[in-house]
Amino acid sequence: MPGLCGLLFTAAALAGALQHPVAPALAVLVLVSVVAWAARRPADLWFMLPALLPVASFTPWTGWWLVDESDLLILAAMGGAYLRWSLDAWGKPAAAFNRTPRSMLWVYVVMPVLLLMGVWRGLDDARGAAPWAALLADLWAQGVYGDYDLPGNTLRVAKSMVWGLLLMPVLYRSGQGAPLRWARGMVVGLSLVCAAVLWERGMYAGGLDFSDHSRITAWFWEMHVGGGAIDFYLALALPFAWWAAWTAPHGWRWCAAGALVLLSIYAVLVTYSRGVYLTVALALVALATLAHKYRLVAPDGSVWHRRAMACLVLALVAETLGVFMGGSFMPDRLGRSNADLYHRFAHWQRGVDLLKTPSQWALGLGVGSLPAHYSTQTPEGGLPGRVRWVRSADGRTQVWLSGPAHPGVKGELVLTQRVALAPGGAYRVRLRGQVQSPALLLVQLCEQHLLYAFECQAQTPHVLASSAAAGGWMELRLHGPALASTGTRSAWREGVLSITVLQAKTPVRLDAVELIDPQGRQVLKNPAFVQGPRYWSSIAHANFLPWHMDNLYLELLIERGLLGLAALAALAVCALVMAAQGVARQKPLALVVGIAISSALLIGVVISVIEIPRVSIMLWLLLAVSPLVRED
């Protein structure tokens, strides 16, 4: 059985790599290396996954939505590890025995049942009066693309628990030394995220500009519709940076670990998230207090190390004061705290009001069903726009854009593609499509990382309804400053072309889009949509309510009911108890893991991440390592 699973997972990973829109050959090479690595050293999965998952997504370039490179990474890792399990069992039958800790065996029984029930309820709710065959046909036609208010969102959200359940048996087979590997993997992953933060801040907002109203997203492209993916990740990962500095010997290793702590706190500060600030502050105080209480002594207890740690604390205080006093953005956010809290409570109340029947309270609306319900059943939660991909009767792919669901809904949802910018002058955009009634568009090309635009060229054309123009082109000359021309930072910035409809309930059909650079070259990929949504994506602006509950526990309640919330709460409590047992036995990593879990649970009060699989799988694996910290 492990051998068959290994073959299936490996084949699925390589099949996905061959379909990679940008670099299929490189994707195959990387995944073959991952399979070989996992087969040779399956215990390294504890290191590999936390190290690579934070950067294993290139969605803005591929256009993938249902899956991304993180899924291929997990499939390849499981493929190699399960193949090794099969080889070990063939040569040494005792190696096939289950090594899952007894405290986690109940997860294999309870969680699959709840997951299947949640997926069934989500798909059944999405299909409405349509037959199951029609729903499955739509899902097959959708492929790796889709949208948050469509049935495919159920599968997208459910996959993190699927990966977690499939990973647990093979991870526990190599549990010896797992906490140390996990901690090192978290340190590497956090280092990559901090590097992405430095790149984003340096190239766009400016590393020391604390008045610009842009917040970091790093490599968490799932935040194209908002959410707190990076906030949750930093709260979960930062205790491991402190562990690295606390355990590093003096010399260059400690200097590197200390630099990581400073960079991590810098990343926390430029999230401008009050919830992250509070969580990280409490986590660091708890680390110091509990380490002192349980006499967890640093491996290097020299005078140099104690002085170095004291200097690091002073540097952190100075860094924090620099952000608070060096700009106006954070003071402005603190001044709006009361109003923001009021709006947050109103948002939560609207979400809970979606549960209307006893079965919905017990079992939830279904996995991934929140956006579809919230956007249609709450007037304040209407979508700021829609991007729908449709195949016409003659086999051509078209994209339908529409503005806000109704007047009064703020924000926009824009169709986007990332491009390399060229200096020298104005860009031109050519559009081909049709409208049934006059529409006002906004077409922009901006120096942009993800959510926040900097220098832009734009045009707001009025498109008149005319059946005769259906096959013709409309050409726009964008107006604004020259792009990639204002210095080194500007030259390294990427560009994002965006198209949106500004009016409510005004659909616009696009058959093709071309972007002509100042040198006269057409630079878009898949401009006529012959490859469907490949290379295209979407970004929301100024309104993220329909996609997130902004509370982990309420989102669990709404989508999975009281049963699902109770089961995941039980898993979290068990993990904390086992971490506490490790702390009582003076295991330093048990303290770090316990604080990381506590931080994740605390920030979950203001952030929901079950709809972000790449982050929720890391929380799942953190809970999975908790039984092993008692003995490590």
Asked if residue 21 is part of any domain, the answer here is yes
**322 found inside a domain:** no
Q: Is residue 144 part of a domain?
A: no
- Give the chain's domain count: 2
Nearest one of 295, 55, 220, 184 to 625, comparing CA atoms: 184
Range of lowest pLDDT (4-13, 98-107, 219-228, 347-356): 98-107
Instruction: Give pLDDT tens digits for 410-461.
Output: 899 999 999 999 988 899 999 999 888 888 999 999 999 999 998 999 999 9
Highest average pLDDT, of 343-357, 423-437, 484-498, comes from 343-357
Which pair of tokens denotes residue 362? 């017990």
In a domain, 497, yes or no: yes
- Distance of alpha carbon 596 from alpha carbon 599, whole angstroms: 5
The pLDDT-based confidence of 328 (bands split at 50, 70, 90) is confident
Mean pLDDT of 79-106: 82
Q: How far apart are CA 236 and CA 601, in angstroms?
A: 9
DSSP state for residue 522 in the 8-state scheme: B
Separation between Cα atoms, residue 224 and residue 403, nearest integer Å: 17
pLDDT top residue among 224 and 334: 224
Domain boundary among 97, 125, 144: 97
Residue 235 has pLDDT above 90, yes or no: yes
Query: Taking the CB of residue 4, how many other CB atoms lie within 10 A of it?
Result: 11
End-to-end CA distance of the chain: 30
Whether the Cβ atoms of residue 625 and residue 266 lie closer than 8 Å to each other: no
* Residue ending a domain, choose from 526, 542, 558: 542
Q: Which residue has the higher pLDDT, 97 or 559?
A: 559
In a domain, 468, yes or no: yes
Name the 3-class secondary structure at 163: helix
Q: What is the pLDDT of residue 93?
A: 61
Distance CA 79, CA 35 (A): 6
Instruction: List the domain range (segments joined by +) for residue 503.
Output: 385-542
Q: What is the pLDDT of residue 130?
A: 87
**Does 344 fall in a domain?**
no
Q: What percent of the chain has pLDDT over 90?
A: 75
Question: What is the per-residue pLDDT for 98?
Answer: 62
pLDDT digits over 536-553, tens only?
A: 999 999 999 999 999 999
**Three-state secondary-structure class, residue 447:** strand
Q: What is the residue whose two structure tokens read 């087969």?
A: 39
280, with CB counted inside 10 A (0-12, 13-18, 19+), is buried
User: In angstroms, rounded to a whole number, what is the distance separating the alpha carbons of residues 286 and 237?
Assistant: 15
Lowest mean pLDDT among 50-54, 150-154, 312-316, 487-491: 487-491
Query: Domain for residue 238, yes or no?
Result: no
Provide the pLDDT confidence category of residue 626 given band limits of 50, 70 and 90: very high
In Å, what is the CA distance from 257 to each residue of 52, 249, 512? 19, 10, 50
Answer with the one of 97, 123, 157 that is the final residue of a domain. 97
As a whole number of angstroms, the distance between CA 15 and CA 565 comes to: 35
Write down the pLDDT at residue 469. 46
The answer to whether 615 and 229 have CB atoms below 8 angstroms apart is: yes
As given in the structure block, the two tokens for residue 368 are 């991934």
Q: Cβ contacts of residue 543 below 8 Å, gap of 6+?
A: 384, 409, 410, 411, 412
Q: What letter would DSSP give residue 536?
A: -
Residue 80 lies in a domain: yes
Which tens digit of pLDDT belongs to each residue from 47-73? 999 999 999 999 999 999 999 999 999
> d(Cα 632, Cα 629) in Å, to the nearest integer?
5
CA 598-368-138 angle, 5° bins: 150
Q: What is the pTM of this model?
A: 0.95
Torsion of CA 532, 533, 534, 539, to 10 degrees: 170
pLDDT given for residue 468 in this prediction: 41
**What are the helix (H) ranges across 440-526?**
488-492
Quote the pLDDT of residue 470: 47
Q: What percent of the chain has pLDDT over 70?
A: 97
Write the pLDDT tens digit of every residue in 292-322: 898 888 888 788 888 999 999 999 999 999 9
* Mean pLDDT, residues 378-389 taken together: 90
Mean pLDDT, residues 474-492 taken together: 84
C-alpha 555/C-alpha 71 separation (Å) is: 23
Query: In CATH, what number is assigned to the domain containing residue 430?
Result: 2.60.120
> E strands of 266-342, at which residues?
none
Task: Select from 415, 444, 442, 452 the least CA-distant residue to 427.
Answer: 444
Per-residue pLDDT tens digits for 589-625 = 999 999 999 999 999 999 999 999 999 999 999 999 9
* pLDDT score of 94: 57
